[in-house]
Amino acid sequence: MRWWRGARGHTLVEFVIAMALGLIVTAGAISLYTTQRSAFERASNATRMREAGLTALMLIGPQLQMAGFVPAGVVGYNAPSPLFGCSGGRPTGAADSPGCTTLSTGSDGVAIRYVGDGVSTWPSSSGQITDCVGQGVKSSDAALGSEGVPVVNRYFANVSESTGEPELYCDGNGNAGSAQPLVEGVERVRLRYWLAGAPVAIDASAVPADQWTNIVAVDLCVIVRGAPQGQRSRYVDCDGVSTLGTDLRPRQAFSRRVALRNRTESSS
């Protein structure tokens, strides 16, 4: 005698439970992916900001250390002031009588002067002394002869007209008046100056015109802006103040103190 056993299907309740479990697993996987991606983007953003900030310090810092340098073979050269700074602006005008042009970014600017030679700068392909962006600088002072060339490099941060992003710029006297971008993301440069014997550093606007030769050190700080993220964040600015960002972009300040190596007692 044969027994017939009918096929047994899934009930609606079992089907709903299976779908619910599948949705829970899928939602968990998507949530994990989103969290991991967000963490990766934040880490990448922080890395890019750190690289930009340290690069900016490494570009400006050694140039500040070069301020006032004159090759040993040069005798009797009447060197101009090694530094000239602007508060909330960039140095413009002639190298021997600079002025300041206000910047919308609020960035400070500085003009750094020294005598370049084949050792203190990287020569161009044609053997010329170069400025901060690798442009050849022609000698403009007969008193130097063939021993060196006056170099003037002007640093500041501004917004790029082409990308709308903030960048660190340098205007070298190899092609004066044609500033070139160096580091993207640098929103502001803050500079404070130590006068010989002074108890605190001061802004450029507080340095008397006849005291630029008495600067012994510079506090250099740059604020770097990252890519947009999900919420406004706090950062510590160049004054050491905890500040809430005005937009969804994270920011970070990087700073160092630079001593002027080439200042002589005769400058005081």
- In tens, the pLDDT along 55-72 reads 999 999 999 999 999 887
Residue 64 CA to residue 256 CA, distance in Å, equals 11
Residue 249 CA to residue 227 CA, distance in Å, equals 6
211 touches 196 (CB < 8 A): no
Residue 5 pLDDT > 80: no
Most confident of 91-105, 118-132, 196-210: 196-210
91 touches 100 (CB < 8 A): yes
Question: Is 261 within the bounds of a domain?
Answer: yes
Locate 102 and state its tokens.
């206000």
Give the domain range for residue 154. 29-267
Q: What share of residues in the chain are helix, strand, coil (percent, to 5)?
A: 25, 30, 40
Question: Is 176 within the bounds of a domain?
Answer: yes
Which pLDDT score, from 0 to 100, does residue 9 have? 57
- Closest CA relative to residue 56, chosen from 107, 2, 119: 107
Domain count, the chain: 1
pLDDT in tens, 68-114: 998 877 776 777 889 999 999 999 988 788 899 999 989 999 999 99
Question: Is 198 within the bounds of a domain?
Answer: yes
Question: Is 6 within the bounds of a domain?
Answer: no
- Return the biggest CA–CA distance within the chain: 126
Locate 236 and state its tokens.
């510590």
pLDDT in tens, 214-245: 999 999 999 999 988 878 889 999 999 999 98
In the chain, alpha helices (H): 12-66
Question: Is 98 within the bounds of a domain?
Answer: yes
Burial of 110 (0-12, 13-18, 19+ CB in 10 A): buried
What is the residue whose two structure tokens read 């900030």? Answer: 53
* Mean pLDDT confidence for 5-20: 70
What pTM does this model have? 0.82
Locate 34 and state its tokens.
């989103």
Which is higher by pLDDT, 23 or 4?
A: 23
Alpha carbon 206 to its chain centroid, in Å, reads 23
Question: Is 91 within the bounds of a domain?
Answer: yes
Residue 268 pLDDT > 60: no
* Element at 169 (helix H, strand E): strand 166-172
